[in-house]
Chains A and B, each alone.
Chain A
């Protein structure tokens, strides 16, 4: 029995292969946290660069980090909200997260950072927002934070 199915969240040790730090510094890259076999392939079809790989509709997706251009098509369609864009810019970490709540934060706003368990792990600054009306209700929000937190933070709270 898989432990994450008891907990409802992944431990950092369970998140699978990470992109290299060098890759993270080049441009943003999609990072998928979808370990379970479920019948869904929305991300594979959204990718124009064959960066998301899947053997069959039930297989968990695998990422080819070198092929990924950071175009964000997959994060826009993922029904599990399980894709995040990661990047290191000016030695600061940036995580782009799907957000389906109100109010939608604005650029420059400070938000509380939450980890996979919903615990507060610090504060971050919003650097970019795709408004919900431009993505059928799901806003995309990029938050700048300490670069050590990019594999921890998976949600945020507007304060």
Chain B
């Protein structure tokens, strides 16, 4: 069964049963799930084809950060199906394939790739010149992602202006904490998130969290999300705007879209808590359906109750990889191995011990060489690395698996910060480009704050503290709160320091030296 019926931690409440259509064929779906999850549950692995070499494309990140799952939905091309929720009668079509996505005649281009190197159209098919219009017209038929809509959509569009004290972008652990602490001081808040639920990535974290006992250590991520949601709903001064996507910040004005409405949000302060996205890894066939982001698999399995496959290979032994392995075992999925390029396991020892005692091997100093398979993953080859990170010849071995989870780290979702004009610095210890800020999380662009993974990749527990600090400081600077609020702000700064005082904090502290002014 692809759909999970029983789970030791989670209870899956299915919505109303509806029918969607994939290339005209009916597919069973349940309200509240995304198109990608419903199609995956129906057994579909190839969603579309790439436009150049017609290689299979499928599910990857599940949270709208990549372009792997793009399909045509109700006539609109290039829709990320992991962000669209099913509706009865929805028409979904694959893109760039003929006659269908499984058997695509144009797949031949993948074998003839040597005939079509990058830029071939500058050198080939240009002579004789009178034939050129014909060549160009023919070639154009093969370019572009998807097809233009055949009819005008003709929907009405609206616009609306909203004023508030603080706009918080992202309602994950950091954004929610910021809203709660600033809301408590009485600030008027818009809390904006593109998803239909608050909680960010907490909603797929079934494990109990580490951290300080005062702030929920020992509580499961899903439970923390519920608690924060309940708390946020108590504040009348927090305007929770879900299914709202922010696309830019223009001179302090936040531009967002909800359904057919363009929103112009004019806040006095902005807190950006947009989180992070998963990195991928370079290896042969890394674009095959079956190679997934670890977080994507968590979403599929723990939010929508869909099994990703029968046997997985987990690449990367950070906390995400270790936790995912445990969650796969809980869902009754086998894990062939965890591989790690570093000489030691990256995540917490206790997480590793949890999966080791259930018999999952962890191979340190190993990397993935290639994925096997023509349409979906049918296996993988791993190879040992020496102390100079070079592959050891002859050490390759095959792993039997039908999907591969990539958990090799995260990168901050920093686009809004760039666009707003914040000074950014590349700090590998923090996961990539991160904003320069002061100890209260205010960036070089006055009035714009950051909190959570977008400020540097860390744990949810530290994201929540950063959220509290930014929420408190922005509200205090707007004249809310008294001395007690300032004391609380200092206490949070101290707590954050405490959390980072161990060996896992050394990397973070090193990185922060470059960006905290």
Contact = CB atoms under 8 A, between A and B. Distances in A.
Contact of A57 (B330, B501, B503): B501
A19 B223 CA distance: 35
B211 A39 contact: yes
Given A42-B217, A100-B330, A136-B219, 12 more contacts: A5-B344, A8-B362, A38-B350, A45-B213, A56-B501, A79-B207, A80-B350, A80-B353, A82-B350, A100-B8, A117-B357, A136-B220
A6 B450 CA distance: 35
Nearest to B351: A80
A118 interface: yes
Contacts of A1: 343-344
A101 B502 contact: no
Contact of B498 (A56, A77, A136): A56
B244 interface: no
A41 B353 contact: no
A26 interface: no
A34 B208 contact: no
A106 interface: no
A61 B7 CA distance: 32
Interface in B348-365: 348-360, 362, 364
A100 B357 CA distance: 13
A10 interface: yes
12 contacts: A7-B356, A8-B349, A8-B362, A9-B352, A37-B502, A39-B498, A39-B500, A44-B213, A57-B502, A58-B498, A80-B351, A102-B332
Q: Which size bracket describes the interface of B in this complex?
A: 35 or more
Interface of A: 1-2, 4-10, 33-42, 44-46, 56-58, 77-82, 100-102, 104, 114-119, 132, 136-138, 154-155
Given A6-B345, A58-B501, A101-B330, A41 B217 contact: yes
Contacts of A117: 356-357, 359
B218 A42 contact: yes
A128 to B, nearest CB: 19
B43 interface: no
Nearest to B360: A118
Contacts of A41: 212-213, 217
B476 interface: no
B344 A57 contact: no
A101 B329 CA distance: 8
B8 A102 contact: yes
A42 B209 CA distance: 9
B505 interface: yes
Contacts of A45: 213-214, 217
A43 B243 CA distance: 39
A78 B505 CA distance: 21
B217 A9 contact: no
A39 B212 contact: yes
A136 B219 CA distance: 9
Interface in B174-223: 206-214, 217-220, 223
A35 B351 CA distance: 12
Which of A7, A34, A104 has most B Cβ within 10 Å? A7
B504 interface: yes
A57 B220 contact: no
A6 B364 contact: yes
A59 to B, nearest CB: 8
B6 interface: yes
Given A8-B356, A41-B213, A100-B9, A136 B501 contact: no
B210 A40 contact: yes
A101 to B, nearest CB: 5
A123 B505 CA distance: 41
